[in-house]
Structure 1
């Protein structure tokens, strides 16, 4: 597996910064899985200065962001001439108030990951979760240190889908209904929530009892309501099927939710594409069986 890696300045400034918290937790898994990390210049320099991943052959240095490093990751998510430079996804640890987090190359990295069904990982919790589930897919035993992330019975899950992505959300929920029902609570925006409740009732969920709690529709502020839950640590996971091809009038609300997730980087996991969500669900179910 090949992953792009970048972190905003805040996330590698100190020894307890987000980048290093993730590496301390996941370096053994990175080595076990032999993940190739294609790392933008300043992030690479910070890893080297901290003495982490020392001697690891899968670490590749890219130019600084101002010299096109992040732009190169975007091209490699899409795919370039050489297979060894085609990325399977990207980890971009975002500081939501860093201006570079909204540069065109940052937006393009997310968009191309979503379009190509590849993981776009922006928080420490998401990055830890992804490494653990790839370990499970590789047949390795669950890491007890990751149990907190997989205590679904103690978590709230947000299920959100733009209009063009609602059929994929319904299909995903139908295929993984038992797994999603393990969450202590599920929340959704307007129409998506209504359709999910109808699905649940058709699957035997008690009539008149909501499977998901419905907030307002996205354009009416539902994304902002769920962002508030995230900020209050009352929503730990979001599965957000975004349509990257359509301009949306409530784009600011969508960005608000995404910024809320990155603000609580150690607490919130976000998934933005159906293929990635299904990969997560399959591995999460397998991890539960092994535990």
Structure 2
């Protein structure tokens, strides 16, 4: 599976801990991340991560493009709901694309854990093939 990993500044430590905790699962998948988040994950885990620009510089949009091209299977985006983000329209667009193409999206650790555990037990098989195929809007 292609998995995007994104975290706002105050949530980066949480995402690094999360990926580290589930390293045995993440190592078997192709990982993508926005700039600093990807760098921090690679440094902490030694996993290979394809990095894009940071979110405010277009990284969210780069991941959104992969979703629109049906090349992303899951997004884990630890958002900081208590801090205003200068690129909030990009964040909203990314969330919208996940909804349009039925891409599983976790915006917090609790939901991310459910998705990752579901993936471990084969509960994401419905994604195989063409994600979003039936959602032509």
The bucket for the TM-score relative to the shorter chain is 0.7 to 0.9
Deviating 4+ runs (over 2 angstroms): 279-285
Which whole-Å CA distance do the structure 1 matches of 2:69 and 2:59 have between them?
A: 16
Aligned residue for 1:280? 115
Task: For residue 159 of structure 1, give the secondary structure of its aligned residue in structure 2.
Answer: strand
1:250 to 87, 102, 112: 87
Task: For residue 246 of structure 1, give the secondary structure of its aligned residue in structure 2.
Answer: coil
Query: What number of residue pairs does the alignment pair up?
Result: 122
Aligned residue for 1:47? none
Aligned residue for 2:9? 163
Q: Which runs of 5+ in 2 are unaligned?
A: 123-137
Q: TM-score, normalised by structure 1?
A: 0.40
Q: Which runs of 5+ in 1 are unaligned?
A: 1-154, 206-210
Aligned residue for 2:128? none
Q: TM-score, normalised by structure 2?
A: 0.84
Considering only aligned residues, what root-mean-square deviation do their CA atoms show, in Å? Answer: 1.3
Which whole-Å CA distance do the structure 2 matches of 1:189 and 1:253 have between them?
A: 13
Q: Are 2:33 and 1:195 equivalent residues in the alignment?
A: no
Task: For residue 240 of structure 1, give the secondary structure of its aligned residue in structure 2.
Answer: strand
- Spell out the pairing of 1:133-152 with structure 2 (5 A cutoff): none
Structure label with greater radius of gyration: 1
Query: 1 or 2 for the larger relative contact order (CA 8 Å, sep ≥6)?
Result: 2
1:144-175: per-residue Cα shift (whole Å, max 9, x none)? xxxxxxxxxxx210000000101110110000
